[in-house]
Amino acid sequence: MNIAEIASTRHTCKAFDASRRIDAALIDQLRTLLRFAPSSVNSQPWHFIIASSESGKASIADTLKANFAYNEPKVRNASHVVVLCARRELDDAHLASILAQEEKDGRFATPEARTGQQNTRNFYASLHRDQLQDAPVWMDKQVYLALGSLMFGAASLGLDACPMEGIDCAALDQALGLEEKGLRSVVLLALGYRSAQDFNASLPKSRLSADVVISEI
């Protein structure tokens, strides 16, 4: 399948077949997609929690009961659920750990290259932290890039998926102890295989026409 076919045939799965599990080799590929997702100045301000056990999925599903009950069965019946988290702080220790990793991975041929990268990243971190004061929003944007990459990758592997913003982030943060880890939940992606109750699988896709959303200059 070419990428246009994947984009136009994938859909948001509204009901999963609880009896079907995703093969470990495919999950490994998705883990790689998450780890290699691009982010502004390679900031990687994220952490991804993959729930595949019944207890792991239940701890997420329980937080949806109160206000997002329509999403609860998706979490319970999916094979795997990814909790995409952002860091609570864009702190210097995190920035230093990225620089150290880049150095270890052989990114810097000279000390000047290392300093240049450090300065560029610090500039953006300071811009969002101190000047614009929108660091949480900036970090969320990076997390959503990882979500998009994960969704497209899952579709290309023939998996069904349901992204969910209909979640209680505060309850989820508490259930998973995310605050203590310096994290906060942003969005979920349930993964698995559709069941016969997935009404969205047979609905036609609907998007605004190409001339409305794309222009060429």
Ligand X SMILES: Cc1cc2nc3c(=O)[nH]c(=O)nc-3n(C[C@H](O)[C@H](O)[C@H](O)COP(=O)(O)O)c2cc1C
Which residues form the catalytic set?
A: 14, 74, 165
**Site map (CB under 6 A) of ligand X, residues 174-213, x = contact:** -------------x------------x----x--------
Cα distances from 175 to residues 6, 29, 50, 162, 184, in angstroms, run 35, 27, 14, 21, 11
Q: Which residue lies nearer to ligand X by CB, 5 or 23?
A: 5
Q: Which residue lies nearer to ligand X by CB, 3 or 100?
A: 3
**Measured from the CB of residue 14, what is the shortest distance to ligand X in angstroms?**
6
Check binding of 149 to ligand X (CB under 6 A).
Answer: no
Residues 66-85 that bind ligand X (CB under 6 A): 71
Q: Which residue lies nearer to ligand X by CB, 2 or 206?
A: 206
Q: Which of 60, 125, 164, 186 is close enough to bind ligand X by CB under 6 A?
A: 164
Residues 34-73 that bind ligand X (CB under 6 A): 71
Q: At 191, phi and psi to the nearest 5? A: -130, 145
Q: At 141, phi and psi to the nearest 5? A: -60, -40
Rounded to whole angstroms, how far apart are CA atoms 86 and 43? 11
**Measured from the CB of residue 115, what is the shortest distance to ligand X in angstroms?**
37
User: What does the block give as tokens for 89?
Assistant: 């702080």
Rounded to whole angstroms, how far apart are CA atoms 74 and 64? 10
Chain-centre distance of CA 122, in angstroms? 24
**Measured from the CB of residue 208, what is the shortest distance to ligand X in angstroms?**
12
Rounded to whole angstroms, how far apart are CA atoms 133 and 165? 23
Rounded to whole angstroms, how far apart are CA atoms 112 and 91? 23
User: What does the block give as tokens for 24?
Assistant: 């470990």
Q: Which residue lies nearer to ligand X by CB, 45 or 73?
A: 73
**Measured from the CB of residue 33, what is the shortest distance to ligand X in angstroms?**
16
Stretch that binds ligand X, among 9-17, 91-99, 104-112, 209-217 (CB under 6 A): 9-17
Catalogue the E-assigned strands of the chain: 46-51, 80-87, 160-164, 183-192
Stretch that binds ligand X, among 20-28, 92-100, 101-109, 160-168 (CB under 6 A): 160-168
